[in-house]
Chain A
Amino acid sequence: MSAPRRLGPAGRFAQAWISSKLTPLLIAAALLIGAFAVWRLPREEEPQIIVPMIDVFVEMPGASAREVEERVTKPMEKLLWEIPGVEYIYSTSSPGSSMAIVRFYVGQDEEKSIVRLNQKLMANFDLIPPGASQPLVKPRSIDDVPILALTLSSGRYGDFELRRIAAQADDAIKQVPDVSAVTLIGGQKREIRIALDAAKLAGYGLSPLQVGGALSLSNRRLPSGQFAAGNREYVLETGEFLRTAEDVRDVVAGVANGKPVFVRDVAEVTDGGEEPSEYVRMALAGSRQFLPAVTISIAKRKGTNAVIVADNVLKRMDALKGGVIPSDVNVAVTRNYGDTAAEKSNELLFHMLIAVASVSLLIAITLGFRESLIVFIAIPVTLALTLAVFYLYGYTLNRITLFALIFSIGILVDDAIVIVENIVRHWRMPANRARHPFEVAIEAVDEVGNPTILATLTVVAAILPMAFVGGLMGPYMRPIPVGASAAMVFSLLVAFMVTPWAAVRILKRAQGEERGEREDVFTRFYRRAMGAILHKPALRGGFLGGVVLLLLGSVSLFYFEFVKVKMLPFDNKSEFQVIVDMPNGTTLEETARAADALARATLGQPEVVNLQTYAGTASPFNFNGLVRHYYLRRGPNVADIQVNLLPKGERKLQSHEIAKQVRQRLLPVAGRYGARIKVAEVPPGPPVLETLVAEVYGPSLGERLGIARRIRDLWKRTPGVVDVDWYVEDDQPEYRLIVDKEKAALNGVSEDDIARTMQMASGGYQAGLLHAESEKEDVALMVRLDRASRSDLERIQDLKVAGSNGRLTAIRELVRSEPVVVDQSIYHKNLMPVTYVTGDVAGAMESPVYALLKLAPDMARMRAPEGYAIEQNMSTAQPSGAERYSVRWDGEWHITVEVFRDLGIAFAAVLILIYALVVGWFQSFVTPLVIMAAIPFSLVGILPAHGLMGAFFTATSMIGFIAGAGIVVRNSIILVDFVELRLAEGMALDAAVIDAGAVRFRPMMLTAAAVVAGAAIILFDPIFQGLAIALMAGEVASLALSRMTVPIVYYAVNLRRKSQ
């Protein structure tokens, strides 16, 4: 060993840098790059997943849902389905309108997707049936999610004034750089209301349509060209706009008996707030007072830093206070993703610091203070370079990227440890006493160089395949394999470049005097025990059998539900929403009342800081709401309650626990009002339609509804399944006025006249804008019947229409009314008609996997009308045909299946890669199998640890297990490598394997300790807890087991081979 030999790549590399003056510069440069990356990387709490999602709306007024389905939805779906990259098309055909949500595969280019979709629609405009509108295309992306919500509320000002204040503030906020969409929710817009008096109109012989027409015609101003005179050009303009309510009153609505009839003669004109279509209220925890409120939600531009945008907006708002915003208007920040992002990233950067410090401390204890200093240089340099990779890759600083770093600290430190330890060992060797320390150091680096490269590659091989996980979850967690792999590669470079450089300058050479290979009591016991086991085949078999039994026992914990599987555990966020659905046909006021009562019940929860109720509209949506399309919720029977909780540090309970308690508080209240509620927590990972989703497929709508109803009822009965709902509207009464065509024709009245008159009377007709120049928002001229007159079907028919002879005829004379039921919407998923049943799990069961296992047997007993059992589809694919009734499980189950399936494939790839690497190193087909036998042993630690910690076995646990496999293999390699070295030196097989376990245990333990120290901080994160548990427990278990098992298996295998 002491003889000079040709240096390997590692040695040559170290030689080049160990004395170079460039090395410190490079260290400084790396750290600066890292600092720059930290400064420049946009902060986010959750990573942004790019899922191009485009909503397409088509109107076809008057058509029934069935007709819309056939005329609009189906042809459109078929076209959209032709677009490459489309994963799902969810369509809804409602009476008069069709909506299709087109979701592209995750990671598809947004611009390309939009262009393709637009192109496809444009090219087929000729196929639009008469009566249908052109499609309205609205792309939705994660960047539409508001990062900031400001709620203005006041005890003094009402909805109308607050809206005007908010509109004024909106102007100022828009000016802030990088602000994207700013939306005002709630309040009443200004409107000029022209409430027609039906009897007066009749008295003057005017019809409502004439008044509407007169209003829009007199609100004109047109440039009319120019003329030249006296060598000058003059511009002509004709007409004058309506600017005030007084102008509107003075409009001539028509002529009766040769005299002009003014609008004021036939209508009451008021200038004020519009008729409320939404109510937004705010309540603070202390006061229990519900104040009128307007929420301003602010989104940021793509790729900008939420922290900075939010800060700038808040600064701008502060400047407005006292001026535009009176002091008695309370401005509450009801959402600040900038704040949460900054908080989260700062917290995680701090955690990173702790991880680095604890690993360094560990080194200081085990190796010495100076050694720890070297590690303390090596880790930041590696992390800095990895951060630079994130920056170049376009990632943001979010919980995933930062966890990738924290998680890799424990692993990457190993390279440094190995190098430092070997340099120290070599310096201590008596033979090297007289030699130049640099030379010895290079030699030491070279000695462990190749195994270190192999070990690093093994870890990379274990982590990198996870980058190819598909679905929503793939891009969500992709920074972990990418970041950790980059960190590993950098750690290798640093270990060969920086570590020797620092070691020769920091370490004191004289420090270690000759320390003999003193073995402690455990090692001596180990040697004795191993000697016994190795030499008695029965004992050997018994031991191996015991280990296998232990493994099987651990895995059986899944079966006994001691360890529960859930894709992602619950997060601890400071907000959640309550989604309230009243039966169709509920008035807005009744909905507001129910929302109010629910909100009061919610306020009883001590952790609630404030809440906002949004009746008739949707609260500012989050990523969850984006996927679930909560932002489309509108109408008198829907309400949202946005609940904001105390910050994490100030409350004991986790948000999921609070949500569960709130649900218990709300259920009786909801029952009283007949409301269906969903407590929508922010999901920790990619959002889904609902945790539990059963899609019922089949040919007939009625039968599908029947099956869906049975499923819904079953779910409602099942404890642990909550928030059960289905995508079926309740019957809502509708009156259809059927025109007597002959009578109408005799009076010279067209059906269109009647329909438009009715529309104007009850829905209102916007006869243009009030051209008030300084107004911030559009002020509509709304012609409508007054509320009292249009709240009665009898009275509304008293309205008159003008016939072609100019005479008025009451609508009643020309129509008959027929009570019907509003058509139910028809849903399609990927062109197949479907009925959804949704639910959540809480309480008795927390993971959809178990709900599914419990429900599936009951659902399997359901029969289709033809008598066959309804097939249940657990896979990610849709049923092959809609001819037979079938149920497909979707929701979190879909993602669970997808993720665990992909992770399984990734794991298989990991095994193959590692095998290939080890075969390459040992030039043997059998030895790698011995080495890899250690991989399953980590499960012996992982599963009981999850059970004891009460944690779910989650996707992150799986990631931990897979990543851990790399480290476990690396330990085994060290052992086997040592055994082969000893064998080559001529040691007996039994002595060699025992010696390996005894001598190499210390560095293995050091590696394990580093992993434990590095990952410990992750235990505190609710989502990545599984990763930490899997890494720590897996590492400890495999350390304990592989020390004995791997040598024994190696011995057994080689003994047989030798004997052959």
Chain B
Amino acid sequence: MRAIYYSPLIFAALLASCGNERTPRAAAAPGGSVPVRIAPVSTQDWPAVYEAAGTVRARTTATIASRVTGYVERVDVQVGDRVRRGQTLITLDARDFEIGVRSAEAGRAEAQSAIPEADSGVAAAKAGLDLARTTFRRMEELNAKKSISSQEFDEASARLKSAQANYEMARARRVQLDSKLAQAAQEVESATIARDWTRITAPFDGIVAAKTADPGNLAAPGAPLMAIEQEGGYRLEAAVDESRLPSVRAGQAVEVELDALRRRLNAKISEVVPAVDAASRTYVVKVDLPTDPQLRSGMFGRAVFPLGAQRSLTAPASALVERGQLQSVFVVEDGAARTRLITAGRRTKDAVEILSGLSAGERVVAPVPPDLQDGARLEVRP
């Protein structure tokens, strides 16, 4: 009975005894000190730059077209192939031109075959002439001696003249034949050249930049079949905003960053196209690029125009600890490493711009040893 009187209170006492839990984890500070190198955070000049996007283009580009009309028979190169001067690029169907060559050759052979006959004609005329001249000389002597009649002399004289004419004629025929032969040879040559035009070759060492011809196409004179860019001479054509005009002039040195090559090239502005494109408020600046075997036209590049310098806080790149988008450094404070959250801006190979979280003169751990933790004691090595 009495227990009942106490019951709410006992119940209360029971409640009081339960439900008191605490996490006892209070890890001790890291024991030994970690040897590190440190570097100061300093204010440094960062180049203020303006970047203009552009495209790499070759300085010399040949657009290849056929001289003759004909069906494309074979294309020997593909876009991007490197070609040597004279290398065959496209072969057209040459059958028409073969026929021309052959008929010219036939003409030449015919002319040639007439030569011996003409030669013998000349020889015969020459023999006749010689005979007529000998006869005439004898008749002349005889005439002087008046041993022959004038009739006979006149006859001999006439025979000589006729033989002479004969000979002249034979000779003329021979000469004519020669020129005919020369003509035939000419024809052969021109037919050969025409035939050779069906084999289109590279005009210089370069790279195939474009190709429109495929076997079966009809190539007509003037229609571009292929574009070849001369190797070695590239430039960047960048569109620069109108308001940047004052800071850009021809001859100025600029850096060109090529993302594909992951490289920066030192280049020089060769030309500032004087007209502004009203549609985009830009004008084109041409920057000559140094020779580089990996350059290709059409590559994306940025011209980096210097605008001056900007003072920014800078820390060594090796001090930066990145975890996802969380950026931090270890600051040395009272001989211990302290995690300091920062935001990093621009970076170079060995420096990083600090946008927030650090002040000049602070010392950071760089490089960061693996597993360095907040609060670790540090032993600074020179």
Residues of chain A having any CB pair with chain B under 8 Å: 28, 31-32, 34-35, 38-39, 155, 158-160, 188, 193, 198-200, 202-203, 272-276, 279, 284-291, 307, 311, 314, 330-333, 338-339, 342-343, 345-347, 349-350, 352-353, 356, 376-377, 380, 383-384, 387, 587-590, 592-593, 596, 609, 647, 743, 746-747, 787-788, 791, 794, 798, 803, 805, 807-810, 812-814
Contact = CB atoms under 8 A, between A and B. Distances in A.
Contacts of A290: 338-339, 374-375
A106 B15 CA distance: 33
A200 B28 contact: no
Closest CB pairs A-B (n = 7):
A589-B357, A349-B12, A286-B26, A346-B16, A273-B324, A587-B356, A289-B375
Q: Identify the interface centre among A285, A349, A383, A746: most chain B CB within 10 Å of its CB.
A: A349
Contacts of B177: none
A347 B347 CA distance: 61
B353 A35 contact: no
Given A39-B11, A199-B51, A349-B12, A188 B324 contact: yes
Nearest to B340: A593
Contacts of A31: 4-5, 7-8
Contacts of A353: 9, 12-13
Given A590-B356, A807-B277, 14 more contacts: A34-B8, A272-B324, A284-B25, A286-B28, A330-B25, A343-B19, A349-B8, A380-B9, A384-B8, A596-B340, A787-B343, A794-B307, A809-B282, A813-B242
Contacts of A347: 16
Nearest to A330: B25
B243 A812 contact: yes
Contacts of A276: 325-326, 341
B144 interface: no
B243 A587 contact: no
Contacts of A203: 53-55, 300, 302
Q: Identify the interface centre among A200, A307, A346, A803: most chain B CB within 10 Å of its CB.
A: A346
Q: Taking chain A's interface residues, is the majority helix, strand, or loop, or is none over half, making it mixed?
A: helix
A601 to B, nearest CB: 13
Interface in B224-249: 239, 241-243
Interface residues of B, number: 64
A796 to B, nearest CB: 12
B155 interface: no
A788 B357 contact: no
Contacts of B344: 787-788
B264 to A, nearest CB: 14
B325 A193 contact: yes
B325 A272 contact: yes
A284 B239 CA distance: 57
A332 B23 contact: yes
B279 interface: yes
Interface string B264-292: 00000000000001111110000000000
B196 to A, nearest CB: 36
A421 to B, nearest CB: 22
Contact of B241 (A32, A193, A343, A810): A810
A814 B280 CA distance: 11
Contacts, number: 199
A387 B278 CA distance: 86
B381 interface: no
Nearest to B304: A199
B357 A787 contact: no
Nearest to A284: B26
B342 interface: yes
Contact of B13 (A34, A158, A350, A589): A350
B325 A274 contact: yes
A1043 to B, nearest CB: 36
B375 A160 contact: no
Interface string B20-32: 1111011111100
A375 to B, nearest CB: 12
A803 B48 contact: no
Contacts of A787: 343-345, 355
Contact of A589 (B11, B15, B300, B343): B343
Given A34-B8, A286-B26, A787-B355, A200 B281 contact: no
Contacts of A791: 343, 345, 355
Contacts of B154: none
B40 to A, nearest CB: 17
Nearest to A201: B53
B323 A289 contact: no
A200 B25 CA distance: 52
Interface string B178-197: 00000000000000000000
Nearest to A202: B53
A548 B19 CA distance: 54
Nearest to B259: A200
Nearest to A590: B356
Contacts of A275: 325
A169 to B, nearest CB: 16
Contacts of A338: 19
B357 A330 contact: no
B365 to A, nearest CB: 16
A341 to B, nearest CB: 10
Given A347-B16, A805-B279, A285 B5 contact: no
B204 interface: no
A158 B15 contact: no
B20 A339 contact: yes
Given A808-B280, A813-B243, A289 B53 contact: no
B326 A273 contact: yes
A286 B13 contact: no
Given A284-B27, A289-B373, A346-B15, A158 B326 contact: yes
A352 B338 CA distance: 51
A746 to B, nearest CB: 8
Contacts of A200: 53, 259, 300
Contacts of B356: 587-590
A311 B375 contact: no
A155 B55 contact: no
Given A199-B302, A332-B23, A812 B326 contact: no
Given A330-B25, A791-B355, A346 B302 contact: no
Contacts of B262: none
B48 A35 contact: no
Contact of A794 (B4, B8, B48, B277): B48
Nearest to B353: A788
Contacts of A286: 26-29
A590 B356 CA distance: 6
16 contacts: A31-B4, A35-B8, A202-B239, A273-B323, A288-B29, A288-B375, A314-B21, A353-B12, A356-B9, A589-B343, A592-B341, A596-B338, A609-B22, A787-B344, A808-B280, A813-B243
A275 B322 CA distance: 12
Contact of A158 (B19, B323, B343, B345): B323
Given A199-B302, A273-B324, A807 B280 contact: yes
B20 A380 contact: no
B71 interface: no
A270 to B, nearest CB: 8
Interface string B158-193: 000000000000000000000000000000000000
A440 to B, nearest CB: 26
Given A331-B23, A349-B15, A593-B357, A788 B347 contact: yes
